[in-house]
A = this chain, B = another copy of it.
Amino acid sequence: MQIEIINTGSELMLGRVLNTHQQWLCRQLSDLGYVVARQLAISDEGPQIQSALRESLARADLILTTGGLGPTSDDRTRDLVAELLGVELERNNEVLERILHFFTSRNRPMPESVKVQALVPCGALVLMNAHGTAPGLVIEVPAGRFRNASTMLVMLPGPPRELRPMFTEQVVPLLKQNLPCETEFVCRVLKTTGLGESRVEEIIAPELKHLTDAGLELGYCARTGEVDVRFIGRGCGAQENVAEAESIVRRLIGDHVFGVDDEQLETTLIHLLTERKQTLALAESCTGGYIANRITNVPGASAVLWGGAVSYANESKSKWLGVSEATLAAHGAVSKETAREMVEGARRISGANFAISVTGIAGPDGGSDEKPVGTVFIGFADANGSRVYKFLNQYDRETFKYVTSQQALEILRRAVEKAES
């Protein structure tokens, strides 16, 4: 089955907006067993949109478009599709009523232009929009027009808050009914850290050869400090082959596997702590709240997180964490000693089971010969005492924060796991 996504929007081509639709839609589809063959992004210009559609219609069983259904003059997908397919636009009264209601219920004046969103290509199925005014549209393009089979053309509005529930609640049931998946499809990703991409392959590929020879797909994706190992199985036995591959890789490099699929370290950590009814306190300097932010992204974090001090100024390290002025004066804010007093203070004040502290130089300024930009001390404390780790994370500011937060969360994860055994 050929599936293609067309994202329209000049803001995409100008690099003003990140295209999150691609990942989100591809992920939803692949979890259902559908794999997207092509994703294309183009500007809002008519000829671009029509030629992209024409090409896709000659190939695809399913086309998903995003954007171009709104009320402004650069929203042209509706008209361009109608023109390309040679159908008229007609007013849909239910859509019109919903648009009127959208504005009256919010006590907002209704610009005349929004009514254009009630125009629907003849014969299209309308997907009502629970979070906005532009409806989605589904058109079954019959065989013989662009190729010798029919194509399901699904048009979705651009704002993620509108697109996502519309896809999940309305498009997925349509797909399952009209374009059911024929073969089993299993995708599993093991997230590893501490080995390079080629080293990972060198270790695991020979041991997986009997499975890859039998059709298992093996892929790698290298990221900062991490390598994803991906298994894809299709058809009969897919589930078993992927499970066998996973157990082989865990046997070979299990120490380096810190998660599976989309599992984030913070999710694993919160689940571990929640199960054990244990708590956590944070003391962040150079990561500036990034660790707290990641942890509080996980629903249920409030049962685990006592709190975190983003202790940027020295004074805040003293007042919130009890770091002594003498230590700060003698060793500086970025030091093993300060990291230790931060983490011990966080644990003492909170009474939490575990505490972690981070102090370092995120850059771009503030480095010295002795302590270059990227220097980080991470302190850890539990009932058995405290210890401090030193790292050198020489990246741009945001990557620095990410890598440092990964190290801190991984120290916590290993400690919490070990504490049980």
Contacts and interface: CB of A to CB of B under 8 A. Distances in A.
Nearest to A30: B14
A112 interface: yes
A230 B16 contact: yes
A398 interface: yes
Interface in A185-215: 187, 189, 196-199, 201-202, 205
B320 A309 contact: yes
A29 B13 CA distance: 10
Interface stretch (A37-45, A80-88, A248-256): A37-45
A199 B17 contact: no
A395 B131 CA distance: 11
A113 B201 contact: yes
Interface string A269-291: 00000000000011010011111
A261 to B, nearest CB: 8
Given A23-B17, A289-B308, A305-B312, A201 B71 contact: yes
How many protomers of this protein does the assembly include? 2
A88 to B, nearest CB: 23
From A41, A111, A297, residue with most partner B Cβ within 10 Å: A41
A218 B40 contact: no
A301 B312 contact: yes
A158 B41 contact: no
A349 B309 contact: no
Contacts of A27: 14-16
A221 interface: yes
Interface in A1-39: 9-20, 22-30, 35-39
A72 interface: yes
From A36, A160, A301, A366, residue with most partner B Cβ within 10 Å: A36
Interface of A: 9-20, 22-30, 35-44, 48, 52, 70-74, 108-109, 111-114, 158-161, 187, 189, 196-199, 201-202, 205, 217-224, 228, 230, 232, 262, 281-282, 284, 287-293, 295-297, 299-302, 305-313, 315-316, 319-320, 349-350, 362-366, 395, 397-399, 401
Contacts of A217: 10
A219 to B, nearest CB: 5
Contacts of A73: 201, 205, 218
Contact of A39 (B13, B114, B300, B311): B13
A13 B37 contact: yes
Contact of A14 (B35, B44, B223): B35
A297 B293 contact: no
Given A72-B201, A111-B196, A281-B316, 5 more contacts: A11-B228, A40-B41, A158-B221, A160-B224, A319-B349
Query: Which 7 A/B pairs are nearest by Cβ-Cβ distance?
Result: A288-B296, A15-B27, A289-B292, A307-B316, A15-B26, A289-B289, A308-B310
Contact of A189 (B16, B112, B313): B16
12 contacts: A12-B26, A15-B22, A38-B52, A70-B197, A71-B197, A72-B198, A72-B220, A160-B224, A293-B401, A296-B362, A299-B364, A299-B365
A365 B302 CA distance: 11
Contacts of A158: 221-222
